[in-house]
Amino acid sequence: MQIFVFLSEILGKRTVSKDGAYLGKLRDLTVSPNDEICPKIRGLILERGLWRKEVALVNINDVLEFNQEIVINLRDEDIHYQREKIKFDFTLCQDILDRQVVDIDNRKVVRVNDIHLLRLDSQLFVAHMDVGLRGLVRRLGWTKGVDSIVRSMSPKAYYLTREDFIPWKNAQVLTTDRRRNILRLDIARKKLSQIPAMELAEIMEDLDIFEQLSLLRSLDEELRRRVFADLATHEKHDLIEQMDDKEAVGFLENIPADEATDLLLSLPKGLTYQLMKRMETKTAKKLRKMLGFAKDSAGGLMTMEYLSLKPEAKVKDAIQLMKDHLQYPGNIYHLYVVDGQQRLLGSTSVRQFFNEDPEKSILETCYPKRIFVRLDDGMEEIALLLEKYKFSSIPVLNEDDILQGVITTDDVMEELIAIAWKKYKEKLT
């Protein structure tokens, strides 16, 4: 008996009763994807009729054998056919074939061309997803012809010797259905959490907007936020427009303030106002302030995520502060010493104090000269200062020397690249 069988090989098979009476053809298989690592097929969807098609669901336990024909331990009158479309939670043809999945081991998005089933007696289990060209050829019924042509040209061709299978347990199935996330296997979610957020963000670039949402929602909360933060602004924009207000605000409140500001500026004004109303007062106040500055000014580029210390702090306090904020979205390698009114007294970095006496005053480790920009300083001046002093971030002060935020080299580079690209496109047109 053949242990493994492909879904494409059994679709359309004649289904008969144990007395040999014709019952219909196999149209699809139902499965409960969350039950096992290799889910068991739960039922068969049968179809009959040429012009007036009818469908029926048969329990897998009523199947006697899978051979040239599928034999079922039921009579025709025991099967309840209906013309109305039956709603199933999850079927292989409807929800897996031709869908995109994330190959968790190889960290890429692929399309399912066929499904590899394990057969034990009259039971079927989902073993692998076939994502290779051979699976597509098999579904089209061209296997013999294509195999002959390839074998005549290259007998050891990869196409003939290897199958492109992904184990069910190592894949995350995506769906374009906005109402639900089809597959939530614990093992898949654990493996997804091992992929760096930046790589997951790159994977999402190959998906459409609804598949992006599906993948994003399948992640744990912390990873979800980090992946969202690593997406390009236009991708964040598209996702926010598909979310409800509560979900969108959750993301906006957990990414750096400068990125949240850029994102809000790209949204329709009505939606921006609506989201701002739902935010916590402190966050909304911070973003309203930043939204008031020109995008290419220090005020428009700055983020309000930075770490600061009081003048009486010691080196050991600075090190502890960094340890406590390892997951902080802002720059933790530069620290700012401020007084009770938030006036900047000095700036220091981990290079300045890491090997110093833990009891040494943090003020003594600050750079000898205060380097900063004002809120209305332009892009050129900011870039020149960052380049001159080789800082990864620079503080932004108002006219009273009160620290308003910081600008990182990443923020400046992103804006400079956008400007350069815009000018390049203008030259092309």
Q: What is the pLDDT of residues 172-220, one digit of tens each?
A: 665 544 334 444 334 455 556 667 777 777 777 767 677 777 778 777 7
HSE (CB half, 13 Å, CA atoms) of 75?
A: 2
The CATH fold assigned to 193-292 is: MgtE N-terminal fold (1.25.60)
Q: What is the pLDDT of residue 427?
A: 65
Structure token pair of residue 248 = 């969108």
Question: How would you class 61 by CB atoms within 10 Å of its CB: exposed for 0-12, middle for 13-18, buried for 19 or more?
Answer: exposed
Strands 165-167 and 171-173, bridge-based pairing? unpaired
pTM of the predicted structure, to 2 decimals: 0.49
Q: What is the pLDDT of residue 339?
A: 93
d(CA 49, CA 24): 8
Structure token pair of residue 400 = 């009273």
**Residue ranges for the chain with pLDDT beneath 70:** 1-2, 33-37, 84-86, 102-108, 169-194, 206, 208, 273, 281-282, 284-285, 288-290, 292-295, 418-419, 421-429
Scanning 90-220, the segments in alpha helix (DSSP H) are 92-95, 133-140, 143-153, 158-161, 186-192, 197-204, 209-218
Angle at 403 between CA 398 and CA 407, to 5 degrees: 95
pLDDT digits (tens, 9 = 90+) for 338-382: 999 999 999 999 999 989 999 999 999 999 999 999 988 888 888
Structure token pair of residue 227 = 């992946």
Structure token pair of residue 328 = 């902080």
Q: What is the pLDDT of residue 180?
A: 41
1-140 — its CATH code? Answer: 2.30.30.240
Question: How would you class 200 by CB atoms within 10 Å of its CB: exposed for 0-12, middle for 13-18, buried for 19 or more?
Answer: buried
Q: What is the pLDDT of residue 171?
A: 64
Structure token pair of residue 82 = 């209906």
Residue 141 falls in which region: left (phi positive, over 0), alpha (psi -120 to 50) or beta:
left
Q: Confirm or reject CATH 3.10.580.10 for domain 307-415, answering yes or no.
A: yes
Our separate counts of H helices and E strands in the chain read 19, 19
Enumerate the domain spans of the chain: 1-140, 193-292, 307-415
Q: What is the pLDDT of residue 185?
A: 39
